[in-house]
Chains A and B, each alone.
Chain A
Amino acid sequence: MEPSLASYLALSGILFTIGCVGVIFKRNAIGMFMCIELMLNAVNLTFVAFSRYYGDTTGQLFVFMVMAVAACEAAVGLGIIIAFFRNSMSVDVDDANLLKN
Chain B
Amino acid sequence: MFAGLAIASAISMVYHKNPLYSAISLVGVFISLSCIYVTLAAPFIAAVQILIYAGAIMVLVVFVIMLLNMDEDRPLNRLKYLYALGGGLGVLLLAQTFFIFYAVMRAPNVPADQALSAGKTMTIGQAMYTEYLLPVEIVGVLLLMAVIGSVILARRLSPPQLELVIDNELEIRHEEEAKDGLGIAL
Chain A residues close to B by CB (< 8 Å): 2, 4-11, 13-22, 24-28, 30-31, 33-35, 37-38, 41, 44-45, 48-49, 51-58, 60-61, 63-65, 67-76, 78-83, 85, 90-92, 94
Question: Does the CB pair B124–A60 fall under 8 Å?
Answer: yes
Would you call the interface of chain B mostly helix, strand, loop, or mixed? helix
Question: Does the CB pair B11–A18 fall under 8 Å?
Answer: yes
Question: Does the CB pair A8–B40 fall under 8 Å?
Answer: yes
Question: Does the CB pair A78–B100 fall under 8 Å?
Answer: no
Question: Does the CB pair A26–B57 fall under 8 Å?
Answer: no
Would you call the interface of chain A mostly helix, strand, loop, or mixed? helix
Residues of B within 8 A of A83 (CB): 153-154
Q: How far is the CA of A30 from the CA of B61 in the complex (A)?
A: 8
Residues of B within 8 A of A49 (CB): 40
Question: Does the CB pair A92–B74 fall under 8 Å?
Answer: yes
Interface residues on B, range: 35 or more
Partner of B146, one of A44, A56, A76: A76
Partner of A79, one of B41, B48, B119, B149: B149
Which residue of chain A lies nearest to B97 when distances are taken between CB atoms in the complex?
A: A13
Q: How far is the CA of A48 from the CA of B11 in the complex (A)?
A: 22
Question: Does the CB pair A58–B67 fall under 8 Å?
Answer: no
30 A-B pairs within 8 Å (CB atoms) are namely A2-B112, A6-B105, A10-B100, A11-B3, A11-B7, A13-B93, A19-B14, A20-B89, A20-B90, A22-B14, A24-B82, A27-B76, A27-B78, A28-B70, A31-B22, A37-B53, A38-B26, A51-B119, A53-B112, A54-B110, A60-B118, A61-B127, A64-B48, A65-B135, A68-B139, A68-B143, A70-B52, A74-B56, A76-B150, A79-B153
